[in-house]
A and B are shown apart, each in its own frame.
Chain A
Amino acid sequence: EDQVTQSPEALRLQEGESSSLNCSYTVSGLRGLFWYRQDPGKGPEFLFTLYSAGEEKEKERLKATLTKKESFLHITAPKPEDSATYLCAVQERISGGYNKLIFGAGTRLAVHP
């Protein structure tokens, strides 16, 4: 059964204190791994898609990396506005069509000034 596990469940950082969020996954054939940011009361905002082990993508203070078993979301010198829940989701490789995403429980990040 496909599984996505995110850790830690919650993370509190001081402004400027870099850290990493983890997403470990079990899927028979990975089509893509997605990272989203979700603010309270809003829909998830797309951040990155990673497709193969060794791939890295960056956006401002965020960098996502992928291995065969896990993905990391690195946050460099975070600011209070980076506070949100970060969601990881995997998409299994199945022939034809669009495939559903399986989400992890998320990591709630709080960055304090």
Chain B
Amino acid sequence: DAKTTQPPSMDCAEGRAANLPCNHSTISGNEYVYWYRQIHSQGPQYIIHGLKNNETNEMASLIITEDRKSSTLILPHATLRDTAVYYCTHAGGTSYGKLTFGQGTILTVHP
């Protein structure tokens, strides 16, 4: 199972960038880093994933360190609707949905 370490909570001002760190030192060579978030007990929402290169999509950017043992999720302009629990995990190949979620980071975006 994936073992990740994330800060339990973070705050961010609306309109500012939110940088959420994650340590995943047990990641294997063929495993991708995945980020999901969950709002008010809704279903987890996929944000972004990557193998070793930095990735960007319409929601966020993902920065993965060269040794792949940690990553940072960047929400470039946080809004109040980005308040959620953010989960970082890793999974390999076609087992991409066998996700192990830890406690995640509770991100609170303030006006």
Do A and B interact? no
- Chain A residues within 8 Å of B, Cβ to Cβ: none
